Amino acid sequence: MTTTSRPRRNALRALAVAVALVGASTPAFGNAAFAAEPETYTLTIKHLDRAGQPAGKYRTHVSGVFEAGVEEFLEQQDASGVSTVRLPKGRYLLDSTLPDGRGAGGPVWTDWVVQPRLDLDRDTTVTVDARTTAPVDVRPPDGAARFLQSSVYVEVTHEGVTRSGNIGNRSTNLRMGHLGPEAEAGTVKQWYDAHWATDTGGYLLGQTFSGTRALTGLTRQYAAQELATLNIRGAAGPGSNGTALLSVLPSTGTVVGAPRVMKTPGTATFLVAPERGTWDIGVTVPGADDVTRNHYVADRVAVRAGTTTTHTFDGPVFGPALTDRPAVSRDGDRITADVALLADGDGHASWSPSFDTAYTALYRDGVLVGTASAAPGRGEFTVAPGQGSYRLATTVTRKAAAGATTRVNASWTFASATTAGPTALPVSVVRFSPDLGLTGTATAGSPLRIPVTVQGAAADGRTRSLTVSASTDGGASWTRLPLEAGAVTVQNPPAGTAVSLRAELTDTDGNTLEQTIADAYRTR
Cis peptide before 316 (omega within 30 of 0): no
Cis peptide before 265 (omega within 30 of 0): yes
Provide, rounded to the nearest whole percent, the portion of the chain with pLDDT above 90: 79
Model pLDDT, residue 460: 95
**Which residue stretches of the chain have pLDDT < 70?**
1-38, 101-108, 287-292, 400-403
∠ CA 419-422-425, nearest 5°, is: 75
Model pLDDT, residue 78: 85
The CB density around residue 390, as the number of other CB atoms within 10 Å, is 22
Select from 365, 378, 452, 438 the least CA-distant residue to 410.
378
Please give the DSSP secondary-structure letter assigned to residue 141: S
Cα separation, 31 vs 74, whole angstroms = 12
Cα separation, 480 vs 502, whole angstroms = 9
The three-state secondary structure class of 226 is helix
Residues 128-174 have pLDDT tens digits of: 999 999 999 999 999 999 999 999 999 999 999 999 999 998 889 99
Cα separation, 355 vs 292, whole angstroms = 10
The CB density around residue 67, as the number of other CB atoms within 10 Å, is 9
Q: Where on the phi/psi map is residue 428: left (φ > 0), alpha (ψ -120 to 50), or beta?
A: beta
Are the CB atoms for 34 and 72 separated by under 8 Å? no
Select from 60, 41, 51 the least CA-distant residue to 114.
60
Tell me how far apart the terminal alpha carbons of the chain are, to the nearest angstrom.
54
**Cα–chain center distance at 521:** 28
Model pLDDT, residue 437: 86
The CB density around residue 430, as the number of other CB atoms within 10 Å, is 25
Residues 345-399 have pLDDT tens digits of: 999 998 888 899 999 999 999 999 999 999 999 999 999 999 999 999 999 998 8
Cα separation, 458 vs 126, whole angstroms = 65
How many CA atoms within 13 Å lie on the side-chain side of 524?
14
∠ CA 140-145-147, nearest 5°, is: 85
Sheet architecture: strand order including 328-331: 378-382, 334-338, 328-331, 423-424
Are the CB atoms for 251 and 365 separated by under 8 Å? no
Cα separation, 235 vs 84, whole angstroms = 57
Cα separation, 261 vs 244, whole angstroms = 6
Domains of the chain: 40-221 (2.60.40.1120), 224-313 (2.60.40), 323-523 (no CATH)
Cα separation, 358 vs 379, whole angstroms = 11
